Amino acid sequence: MGMIGGGEGSLIGPVHRMAARLDGLSELVCGAFSSDTAVSVTTGAREGLERSRVYPAWQEMINRESHLPGDVRPHVLTVVTPNHLHYGPAKMALEAGFHVLCDKPLCMSVAEAIDLQETVKRTGRLFCLTHNYTGYPMVKLAREMVLGGEIGPVRKVVVEYFQGWLSSPVEMTGNRQAAWRSDPSRAGIAGAMADIGTHAFNLAELCIRTRSGSPVGGPPFSGARQSP
């Protein structure tokens, strides 16, 4: 596995690395962890990587790693950057022959989403988007209860995702995580609706749609719109 983003101070990068190691089937072999070269180098050193495989830019990493022998180069590249840097790295990685594991939301616009979909089809690479809450046992149980009719027809769905740490302007204090999340040019114009709301939308659809794709209990909800 190679990683783009997730350097020192990252919220989700360390979580990805920990999760990837739980079953002992993944090994981190390279990374472009930050646009700050010093941060990328420090992260790579702490992860025990060879210095030659720690990069200052994701473009350089994808290009150089794609030319390594098949038994050396990573099988999959993980994209754990701020939202505005999902599309570019994912597209370049797919075109370089890598499978891609990308954090949500998929990208910043419908046009980018459609282009990524076409790129996946054209390259034949695997692409995974991390809507990870679908793996929780209680979510799986909720889905089975709904699909089994235990609660009757679904008429209304209420989904909440609390993000209390952003209730005050901590981006003004130098908090890097808050800085990009409060910046529409990096987080997206939908703000929290796309950044974390995508999880809520994903869970609602998971639990109310049958295997045929039809909603349980009646027609689609009038207010439902899916974002990238």
pLDDT at site 212: 52
* Alpha-carbon separation of residue 155 from 110, 161, 179 (angstroms): 29, 20, 38
pLDDT at site 222: 35
Two tokens at 71? Answer: 């038994």
Closest by Cα among 148, 30, 185 to 96: 30
Q: By CB neighbour count within 10 A (0-12 exposed, 13-18 middle, 19+ buried), where does 108 fall?
A: buried
pLDDT at site 220: 40
Residue 3 DSSP SS3: strand
Q: Which residues contact 107 (CB under 8 A, 6 or more apart)?
A: 83, 86, 87, 90, 113, 116, 228
Residue 166 DSSP SS3: helix
Residues of the chain with pLDDT under 50: 217-228
Residues in the chain: 228
pLDDT in tens, 44-101: 999 999 999 999 999 999 999 999 999 999 999 999 999 999 999 999 999 999 999 9
The pTM score is: 0.83
Phi and psi angles of residue 102, each rounded to the nearest 5 degrees, phi first = -120, 135
pLDDT at site 210: 60
Give long-range contacts, CB 8 A cutoff, 24+ apart: 193-196.
Answer: 193/227, 194/83, 194/105, 194/227, 194/228, 195/83, 195/105, 196/161, 196/163
pLDDT at site 223: 38
For tokens 């040019």, the residue is: 185
Domains and CATH numbers, the chain: 2-130 (3.40.50.720), 141-208 (no CATH)
For tokens 């150089």, the residue is: 64
